[in-house]
């Protein structure tokens, strides 16, 4: 391990021929930093920002609540943050557009952010066409890791963990099958719907997790959200494995509500990673331009 200034660990972020150093502030967010370090070294797929802009992001292979909360709009270029409700790790390279959120500050990138901005442009311009990968290590360590396996007592929980690990290891075949479907709305309609459903479920599960220790109704809310997402993902989008996973987890939550926290944590990791695999296949910039072009031709409303 390499040590940086003032005792901070230094992370190495290598991407597209560039290598950046990130001074990790463990003291400011000890729980989140510990889980991040336990998941390194790692190879991650980068995603473009959809609303705030000027940052690149990737999915965190862990679940951790907000720590030492900070307003995302106060984060300047070079900030390294964790966004719990989105389960994103992010590097900011410019000013952000208006967005309301509290985030965990994990550190700061050293040096000029201009090369990171260029990478961000490649990610945004290339998303849906190619994947931009980055390697994150501690002080220059090599290799890659997978999210740690959690050992649970019950067979259903172990099975859910295995499904989550398999999903994190690679894109599920049914996502590629979705991309091969053809029809009036295919594959774009189910692709966009599936990404939205997985992300919405992810956010509902985060809310349920926050209440799971004190409110018995949190498990029921998660069950209803899981059933709704499974119906749409399997019935409309053709993602039957994901739908079966969510329905199986819903049934287990109903029968063993005492395991709600463990089940919901696994589902957060599963739903977030599923949304990520789908997101990589959406050319967001082209979609946005197509909508704007169509809107420009939209007839003005008659008075």
Residue bearing tokens 């479907």: 181
Residue 151: per-residue pLDDT: 54
CATH value at residue 107: 2.40.100.20
Same-domain pairing of 175 and 51 = no
The number of domains in the chain is: 2
The reported pTM is: 0.91
Q: Give the up-direction half-sphere exposure of residue 71: CA atoms within 13 A in the CB hemisphere.
A: 7
Q: Dump pLDDT digits (tens) for 43-78.
A: 999 999 888 788 999 999 999 999 989 998 898 999
Q: Mark which of 138, 173, 198 sits at the end of a domain.
A: 138
Residue 1: per-residue pLDDT: 39
CA–CA gap between residue 76 and residue 79 (Å, rounded): 6
Same-domain pairing of 24 and 107 = yes
From start to end of the chain, where are the E strands?
9-15, 18-24, 42-45, 47-48, 55-59, 69-71, 79-83, 88-92, 102-109, 133-138
> First and final CA of the chain: distance in angstroms?
68
Same-domain pairing of 127 and 166 = no
Residue 258: per-residue pLDDT: 87
Residue 146: per-residue pLDDT: 47
CA–CA gap between residue 178 and residue 237 (Å, rounded): 7
Same-domain pairing of 71 and 14 = yes
Residue 153: per-residue pLDDT: 59
**Burial state string for 105-121 with b = 16 or more CB within 10 A and e = fewer than 16:** bbbbbeeebebbbebbe
pLDDT under 70: residue ranges of the chain: 1-7, 140-153, 301-303
The verdict on residue 148 lying in a domain is no
Domain that holds residue 109: 5-138
Same-domain pairing of 172 and 120 = no
Contact 175, 281 (CB under 8 A): yes
Q: Which of 29, 133, 14 is closest to 84 using CA atoms?
A: 29
Residue 72: per-residue pLDDT: 87
Same-domain pairing of 162 and 271 = yes
Same-domain pairing of 24 and 102 = yes
Same-domain pairing of 12 and 117 = yes
- Name the CA radius of gyration of the chain, rounded: 20
């Amino acid at each position: 391990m390499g040590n940086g200034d003032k005792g901070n660990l230094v992370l190495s972020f290598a991407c597209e021929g560039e290598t950046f150093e990130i001074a990790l502030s463990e003291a400011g967010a000890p729980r989140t930093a510990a889980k991040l370090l336990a998941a390194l070294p790692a190879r991650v797929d980068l995603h473009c920002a959809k609303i705030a802009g000027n940052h690149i992001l990737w999915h965190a292979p862990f679940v951790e609540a907000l720590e030492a909360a900070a307003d995302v709009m106060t984060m300047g270029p070079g900030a390294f943050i964790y966004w719990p409700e989105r389960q994103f790790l992010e590097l900011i390279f410019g000013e952000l557009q208006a967005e309301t959120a509290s985030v965990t500050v994990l550190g700061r990138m050293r040096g000029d952010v201009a090369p990171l901005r260029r990478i961000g442009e490649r990610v945004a311009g290339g998303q849906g066409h190619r994947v931009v990968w980055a390697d994150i290590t501690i002080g220059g360590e090599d290799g890659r890791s997978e999210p740690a396996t959690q050992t649970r007592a019950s067979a259903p929980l172990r099975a859910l963990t295995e499904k989550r690990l398999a999903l994190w290891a690679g894109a599920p075949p049914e996502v590629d099958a979705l991309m091969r479907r053809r029809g009036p709305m295919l594959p774009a309609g189910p692709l966009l719907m599936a990404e939205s459903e997985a992300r919405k479920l992810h956010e509902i599960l985060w809310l349920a997790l926050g209440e799971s220790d004190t409110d018995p109704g949190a498990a029921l809310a998660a069950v209803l959200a899981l059933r709704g997402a499974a119906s749409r993902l399997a019935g409309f989008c053709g993602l039957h494995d994901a739908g079966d996973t969510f329905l199986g987890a819903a049934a287990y939550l109903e029968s063993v509500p005492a395991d709600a926290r463990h089940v919901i944590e696994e589902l957060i990791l599963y739903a977030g990673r599923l949304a990520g695999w789908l997101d990589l296949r959406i050319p967001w910039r082209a979609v946005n331009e197509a909508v704007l072009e169509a809107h420009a031709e939209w007839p003005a409303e008659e008075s």
